[in-house]
Amino acid sequence: MVSAWHFLQIYDQMKEPKIRQCLRRCHPTVLDAYDKDSNDLGAFIMKFREERLKKITLQGKAEGKLSLEQLNHSETRLHQAMLQFPECFTKVPMIYLHAQINGVDVLAFLDTGAQMSIISATAVEKCKMTDAVDRRFRVTASGVGGMRSSAGRILACQSIY
């Protein structure tokens, strides 16, 4: 059975269109309860549990058995995913640091999952590091923002975080 923590995770993501669409398909009364009073976590959890119990009580019927098996299988997969990849079920805040590069104050974005550190061409000019860019190390970087060519690599600079 699903713990209150799982319901809380879903409740916290109710503003997401994909979550709402999924609930509209599978549990429309739960979505209605949320829309009626989005601040009432207790009513949301109770309605969700009622819906799940309705599905389980159908177990005497053939479709109920199938539904119960699917529910158990889904719950097992969800539980495993939450154990192995908890970061996929929560919003992770963006981390920005006040830093100094070559004596110039900048706001740096810390991407803990990045394979390399990058700096924009504008920031390179602002920090007066154009001469520090070694153009022999040009690469093409691809990520969430698309593909971009780098101007090169800065091998060393003075920075304070």
Catalytic residues: 111
User: Cα 117 to the chain's mean position, in Å?
Assistant: 21
Going 151 to 156 to 158 to 160, the CA torsion angle's sign is: positive
Measuring CA to CA, which residue among 37, 64, 34, 41 is closest to residue 52? 64
Strands (E), the chain: 95-101, 104-110, 133-134, 140-143, 146-149, 153-154, 159-160
Place of tokens 């390179």: 124
φ and ψ at residue 106, rounded to 5 degrees: -140, 160
CA distances from 11 to 16, 29, 96 (A): 10, 14, 27
